Chain A
Amino acid sequence: MTKTFTLDGKVIPFEEGETIMEAAAAAGVYIPHLCHHPEFKPHGSCKLCTVNIGGRLGAACTNRAAEGMKVESETEALNADRRALTQMLFVEGNHICPSCEKSGNCQLQAVAYHLGMLTPHFTHFYPARDVDASHPDVLLERNRCILCELCVRASRDVDGKNVFGIGGRGIKARLIVNSASGRLADTDMSVTDRAAEVCPTGAIIRKRHGFTVPIGQRLYDHHDIAEVPVAGMERPKK
């Protein structure tokens, strides 16, 4: 007999060891998320996937599903918290959605749409962050980095290269690369690396690919991110 739990009243089957996020995704149910990606080890840092697990709040991407568990996700209260977290990510960096080449394909932007975020609400930090255009094929735009560590995990666990890391701490945390000069060009990053594709925002961009699909014709221009139950550029449900 398969085990199940309920998510917003819906019965979700799961296998022992699966997280709430994994089971929900397999059942085609979207839980907002940014730092999660099914191919990589759960991280649990963005906290957008915070759900109510039997009265206690926890991240759906790191908490395991358990038999008979009652999980709430699509509540107004939780979505309000998620909106606040998204707004925090927006004011922490420097985001220029209308002119960003990732517009329409950006998960941060798409989650903001999904949650009905209309303004950044909080006071902007306007941090001074370096743009690194040194690499021939890949652009690093740290102003749009949300520190989800997907590139860190992809480079370490899939590419076996350790090109990326997080330096500093607190609000000064920043994306660093594996070279003495601090420049991406001096790492062994290659445009074919998995790490070049996973970024949920416009922080890692492949050069000379911008606008190949015009803004307005991109994934999230036509689909709510909820129709793309697992992270990234997978095919929409319907």
Chain B
Amino acid sequence: MPAQDVCDLPGIVARWHRDPANLVQILREVQESCGTIPSDTLDQLAKLLDVPRVRIESTASFYAFFHAESHGAYEILFSDNIIDRMAGKEALKQYFCERLWLEPRKLSEDGLVYVDDTADIGLADQAPAMLVNGYAIPSLDKARLDLVAELIRARKPLAEWPPMLFEVPDNLCKPGPLTGEAFVPGAALKAALARGAEATLAEIDASNLRGRGGAGFKTATKWASCRKAEGEAHYVVCNADEGEPGTFKDRVLLASHADLVFEGMTVCARVIGARLGLLYLRGEYRNLLEKLKSVLARRREAGLLGQNILGEQGFDFDIEIHLGAGAYICGEESALIESLEGKPGKPRNRPPFPDRCGYRNQPTVVNNVETFACAAKIAERGGAWFAALGTPQSAGSKLISISGDCKRPGAYEYPFGVTVRQILIDCGAEDAHAVQVSGPSGTCISFREFDRRIAFEDLATAGAFMVFSRERDMFEVARNFTHFFAHESCGFCTPCRVGTSLLRNIMDKLAAGKGSAYDMNEMKHIMHVLRGTAHCGLGHTAANPVVQTMEKFPDAYEKRLKRLDFEPAFDLDGALQTARLITGRDDEWAHLADD
């Protein structure tokens, strides 16, 4: 539990080497120890770090988890993915608020508790879930919420809460080469050192490994280009932001296969000549931090990190962990680098790409967690072994995070090329009607397309697989995703900053029964502008859920359209309510006709 007002600013700043590039980490620690980031703290930080206050403020005000006003001793954030909603999140939240006599988004009168929503926290297989002071509690039900309410009433410090509340099982339902085989720490590194850097790169190349973060860029190409690029230093960055709603496979890898991930980073360091690696861990995965740190410590002791790794003279490499602070856009690699440098997470102008100009403007490899895990396996077992799995353009296996209307939600590892139908059978989703593949930014497919395959050739995916049964309203699914994008737009470029909010507002208008065909066209128009002019992938894909569900589930929209031409967003008659109150009139003539 945060000890209010005992915030050792100089200590925190010193721990982060008085380096403004570590500002997000510094603000995180301030928030963890003070509960808030008060305005005068910004001034003190500006002095301690010797940067303008405005720089501190723009970073502090960008991230969702930072706030200047007190959120009390206990800040409760309910995960608000559509999957949480389907699992009864709204009712549970209301139940919890009633138990503690509070209102969402309002600090309780005794200054103890604050309740709000947050974007998906990477626990869709254990929905509904929430964060308490940043620590995740999965599988909420009334009993668990009763317990939490009791602990809060008793003002128990979080450290004394029963650890079982924070236990997050892996739910690994189908193991594969990454998740099912034992890995001896050091095995991949030894093979890589024996082979040499050049030959290791050749193995990665021969494996045909493509990035697992969504875009599917060939990993060897990225590493080779970074290796060639000149710079004062080279960096390895592991993207563990995993903000795409419905995705949690990186969480499973980090929780149970961290050695594989860190070893992949170290192999990469060997190939590109890096001395420092950074793991960008999303703030929502705070529970994992201590465990990951102990894995790093153990690896240092075993000579797998640090100086002269495994006795190889001059092979020095270590890994630092940076925690995010609630911003989906920080998964975008250049925004992630900005965030690592202590700035708001806004995507950079490219080119140059990070492989030439990344962290601190030096050559940097940014890869997904799973990509590094694959790389370690390839270093250990060879490229040919890996290339033999999967399909021609999609080598290897893919970890899939399955959630929603199925009997066995959890993590599944498949060779690429598996059909959606096969996955649905395996996870027990007999009455599936639609699947959202790769999260809101991915593809919504209907039951007519269940023979499609998970592979870069067909359905590319970063790993989310959300199942919706016949009973679900696909309009509400799209509306939830639209709110997500509007909330997560970084605000840098015009089309996305404004367009995502316009989309959200139109979807809300339809939900309120005030939509018309005009609004449907309007959304298509906004989609067109977003696709063509947005600065980054978030804006490019933000209208996908709306447009795809419109196409594939037109009924879900049509039943909401009030008229075919135009319907104003505001209620004309409702607007006269104040006038009616003032004049004391409520007769027929004081109302507009409702047609």
- Chain A interfacial positions (CB closer than 8 Å to B): 42, 44-48, 50, 57, 59, 62, 64, 81, 84-85, 88-89, 91-92, 122-123, 125, 146-147, 162-173, 176-180
Contacts and interface: CB of A to CB of B under 8 A. Distances in A.
Contacts of B489: 169-171
Contact of A178 (B53, B490, B505, B526): B53
A169 B498 contact: no
B500 interface: yes
Contact of A84 (B349, B351, B491, B529): B529
A58 to B, nearest CB: 9
Interface stretch (B57-65, B112-120, B210-218, B269-277): B57-65
Nearest to B490: A169
B344 interface: yes
B495 A47 contact: yes
Contacts, number: 115
A89 B501 contact: no
Interface in B517-551: 525-526, 528-529, 532-535
Given A125-B501, A165-B54, A170 B490 contact: yes
B21 interface: no
A178 B62 contact: no
Contact of B52 (A42, A46, A162, A167): A162
A21 B61 CA distance: 33
A171 B53 contact: no
A169 B53 contact: no
Given A45-B493, A170-B491, A176 B58 contact: yes
B528 to A, nearest CB: 8
Interface residues of B, number: 42
A171 B500 CA distance: 9
A88 B499 contact: yes
A81 B533 contact: yes
A180 B54 contact: no
Nearest to B569: A123
B52 A178 contact: yes
Contacts of A166: 58, 344, 491
B4 interface: no
Contacts of A42: 349
B59 to A, nearest CB: 9
B422 interface: no
Contacts of A92: 497-498
B532 A171 contact: no
A47 B493 contact: yes
11 contacts: A44-B493, A45-B493, A85-B529, A88-B494, A162-B54, A164-B54, A165-B52, A165-B57, A171-B500, A172-B491, A173-B497
Contacts of A48: 494
A16 to B, nearest CB: 14
Interface stretch (B39-47, B103-111, B226-234): B39-47
B68 to A, nearest CB: 11
Contact of A169 (B39, B43, B62, B499): B62
User: Which of B54, B62, B351 gathers the greatest number of chain A CB atoms within 10 Å?
Assistant: B54
B346 to A, nearest CB: 8
Contact of B532 (A45, A50, A64, A123): A50
B434 interface: no
Nearest to B570: A123
A146 B498 CA distance: 11
B494 A177 contact: no
B507 to A, nearest CB: 13
